């Protein structure tokens, strides 16, 4: 499932063709995806201007001139694809409709934004902008890891005395929003902390050091366009490239990236998810 860097990459790709533009026509080709679409979604989107395109955790939020906000969740395989716009010196024509094109937004500038989702685990919803932060998918989220509210004192306080493994704690969206398996594995490698270490056993210094490492890993991933493992594509259809720089994720049995370490990356399963780590560097 796309994590924060992938969703932020898609948001940035959509921004030039959606922000400030009117949705001249919205076409909805099915009743819903993971959940039913809101009643009358096509009509409520058609004619609305996108005032701001933002991200919260792993969700894209499009604030509309109608005082509603469109929530977009990519799910496992969802893609927001752009056509009919200028890419450098080249114009991309609209492709033929595909089987899994579930929502199509024609923008006044000539661009078309298509939500394609083969596995249908994605979602869209409409909510009042003024109360968007109370939406069930957003209400209990923790702070954004790239925002000021996610700081050393906050994380030390939230992890103090917790008996859960640090890997699970960082995946908890109530503690910090947007982190997923890939970037938690990479963060813990850079922090030299084993994923099975109990969060409450870490010193305040170790916990505080996680904050800048989380930010550095995320910013590097965003700069690389995210990680493309199976389904993820950027809004222009291109792959992300951060996977080429993985230090531990999906590198089971390969040499540790730390010069002179000599160990190989191991994999364990925690709460049904794979954790990759170096048993020598991460203790």
Active-site residues: which are they? 2-3, 58, 273
Q: What is the pLDDT of residue 25?
A: 97
Rounded mean pLDDT, 232-258: 68
Per-residue model confidence as pLDDT tens digits over 54-94: 999 999 999 999 999 999 999 988 889 888 865 544 455 67
Query: Which residue ranges form the domains of the chain, and what is each CATH number?
Result: 4-134 (3.20.190.10), 152-277 (1.10.8.50)
Whole-model pTM?
A: 0.88
Rounded mean pLDDT, 163-189: 96
Per-residue model confidence as pLDDT tens digits over 142-160: 999 999 999 999 999 999 9
Report the 3 state secondary structure along the chain: CCCHHHHHHHHHHHHHHHCCCEEEEEEECCCECCCECCCCHHHHHCCCEEEEEEEECCEEEEEECCCEEEEEECCCCCEEEEECCEECCEECCCCCCCCCEEEEEEECCCCEEEEECCCCCCEEEEEEHHHHHHCCCCCCCCCCCCCCCCCHHHHHHHHCCCCCEHHHHHHCCCCCCCCCHHHHHHHHHHHCCCCCCEHHHCCHHHHHHHHHHHHHHHHHHHHCCCCCCCCCCCCCCCCCCHHHHCCCCCCCCCECCCCCCCCECEEEEECCEEEEECCCCCC
pLDDT-wise least confident of 39-53, 102-116, 162-176, 193-207: 102-116
């Amino acid at each position: 499932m796309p994590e924060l860097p992938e969703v932020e990459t898609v948001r940035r790709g959509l921004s030039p063709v959606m922000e400030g533009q009117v949705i001249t026509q919205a076409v909805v080709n099915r009743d819903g995806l993971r959940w039913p679409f809101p009643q009358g979604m096509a009509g409520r989107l058609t004619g609305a201007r996108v005032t701001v395109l933002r991200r919260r955790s792993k969700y894209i939020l499009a604030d509309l001139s109608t005082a509603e906000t469109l929530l977009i969740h990519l799910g496992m395989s969802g893609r927001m694809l752009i056509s009919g716009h200028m890419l450098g010196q080249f114009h991309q024509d609209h492709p033929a409709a595909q089987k899994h094109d579930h929502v199509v937004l024609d923008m006044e500038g000539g661009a078309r934004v298509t939500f394609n989702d083969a596995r249908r685990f994605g979602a869209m919803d409409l909510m009042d902008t003024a109360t968007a932060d109370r939406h069930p998918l957003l209400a209990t989220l923790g702070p954004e890891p790239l925002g000021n509210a996610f700081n050393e004192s906050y994380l030390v306080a939230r992890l103090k005395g917790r008996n859960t493994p640090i890997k699970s704690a960082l995946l908890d969206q109530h503690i910090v929003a947007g982190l997923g398996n890939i970037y938690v594995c990479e963060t813990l490698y850079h922090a030299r902390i084993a994923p099975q270490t109990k969060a409450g056993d870490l010193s305040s210094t170790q916990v505080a050091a996680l904050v800048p490492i989380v930010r550095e890993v995320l910013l590097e991933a965003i700069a690389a366009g995210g990680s493309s493992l199976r389904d993820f594509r950027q809004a222009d259809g291109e792959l992300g490239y951060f996977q080429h720089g993985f230090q531990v994720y999906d590198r089971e049995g390969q040499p540790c990236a730390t010069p002179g370490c000599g160990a190989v990356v191991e994999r364990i399963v925690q709460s049904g998810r794979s954790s990759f780590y170096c048993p020598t560097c991460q203790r």
